Chains A and B, each alone.
Chain A
């Protein structure tokens, strides 16, 4: 963020045009508000609630929301749904966020290299990107998650190595268009090392699209984690995640619909926030609208 702001070089960072435009974007502000609320609730909430996320109480199974101190009801083992939801939020948000960091890192490295080097290296890298994009992501993720012992860290890595391609494509296009600009030629003439030109001269100028892609990548990663955990190959119980809380919910749909409705609503809320924020950032940083 600082790179962009410094680039626009206003007197104060909040005077920058990008920040002003972002603050005028109502949906993005709504997204920030929703995600702040979620993060705060997940961080503080479990301490404020009277139950432990693993506390089993078989006398209180399937309590509907607002039963006594069980504000969101209980699950088939009588565990408090509210505290589990917030603990799961920590896991899901952390996995989503770290997967985004890792996939952005991979995508940026490959995109900058392919865009700057061009030629055979660039072609080979970009065709690899196309190759990865030919796989429906969930097939690849599930195949990996089913064989590698799934821990939260492993799930994060698996999600990242199957979702860096979008970033790589965006960065490659951006770097390719910057490669022949005067400041890059000047840097070359001065005799700066290639790595320096790629990452210190060109990369800061491509930060806008990367930031937008990253905010949408969090949304994608949270969804992907939810998918594979729902299918039973992601985060393993007893560690709760939003996806695996829905894992057994279908069989109780008739008798305890809150088990399905509540975690799904949390996922939707988190993902919507990041999509809103991404939309706002795209408008604010004036990034081309090439995918939705």
Chain B
């Protein structure tokens, strides 16, 4: 196990370096570099911009800037927001919980519903249910998340008046129930695509498990189909889903950004868009790197969990 852990950690570190190089390149690819916005500011002369560049060390060779930037990143110095001067990590921290709450709720829902659809589709293969689920999943994957959100608001807020149209809580209320009430629609909207993905993968994994020898053995012993499904199949089919949960993180984050915009949810996605609007480049950059680190961490955790549960992986 420890050899596996060390190996996996090393891989993550290498990937982290590559991720940081990509992020740094993106930032420097922009014409005019990180200070491009100030070049357009009529209140600043070319001299001012140059002075600022020298002050921030932007006139040094690129590799030196990168090492300096990466070193400060490691020490937790992610720069300061142009907007209010507070440190980038503090700003991100203020919005992290809202995003995690939204992502967590919708992922839990997507896993539950998606797994149910997938297992049922596999056990009733080629039935009407299976066919509808397959086509439905492909359509669901094609619906733009923000449009689904708008339709949801139109039906459930404007027509039926069941749920609020946005925000995380009512000002002056803020009870747990109030939070949940605000959480329902955005998390359902965010989960649509992932219900589709989970159901497809779960169907394949269940079919795979159903064709294994131990299922034949169990059938030969006379174990009931229900017991085979519950005791032998579902557990084995769920294993690869742990890896999938890690792999899905970038797409959940992308969905969260769009969902947060439609529902004015105060998370990282909204922060990212607001910061883009203000040209608050340290926060934009910080969020870019932070989202990638979140993904790397998620994948690492998924791999460790699956290695713990399934000895075949770490011994392979």
Contact = CB atoms under 8 A, between A and B. Distances in A.
B144 A231 contact: no
Contact of A268 (B143, B150, B197, B287): B143
B257 A139 contact: yes
Nearest to B199: A292
A219 B253 contact: no
Interface stretch (B89-97, B131-139, B218-226): B131-139
B276 A142 contact: yes
A131 B22 contact: yes
Contacts of B18: 127-128, 130-131
A230 B250 contact: no
B313 to A, nearest CB: 18
B295 A135 contact: yes
Instruction: Give the one of A140, A143, A148, A254 with max B CB within 10 A.
Output: A143
A135 B36 contact: no
Interface residues of A, number: 46
B14 A127 contact: yes
Contacts of B139: 268, 272
Majority DSSP secondary structure for residues of B touching A: helix
Contacts of A130: 15, 18
Instruction: Give the one of B204, B250, B257 with max A CB within 10 A.
Output: B250
B284 A143 contact: yes
Contacts, number: 140
Interface stretch (A9-17, A97-105, A245-253): A245-253
Interface in B15-64: 15, 18-19, 21-23, 26-27, 29-31, 36
Nearest to B193: A223
A253 B29 CA distance: 39
A267 B138 contact: no
Interface residues of B, number: 55
Interface string B184-206: 00000000000011001100100
B144 A264 contact: yes
A271 B142 contact: yes
Contacts of B273: 142, 231
Interface in B145-162: 145-147, 150-151, 153-154, 158
Given A127-B18, A246-B146, A292-B200, A135 B151 contact: no
A51 interface: no
A250 B276 contact: no
B63 to A, nearest CB: 17
19 contacts: A27-B135, A134-B250, A136-B251, A142-B273, A143-B27, A143-B276, A143-B285, A143-B288, A148-B30, A227-B146, A227-B258, A230-B258, A231-B261, A254-B158, A264-B143, A264-B150, A268-B142, A271-B142, A292-B196
Given A139-B254, A246-B146, A264-B150, 7 more contacts: A133-B250, A135-B23, A136-B253, A140-B288, A146-B279, A227-B258, A261-B154
A-B pairs, 4 with minimum CB distance:
A264-B147, A131-B18, A271-B142, A136-B253
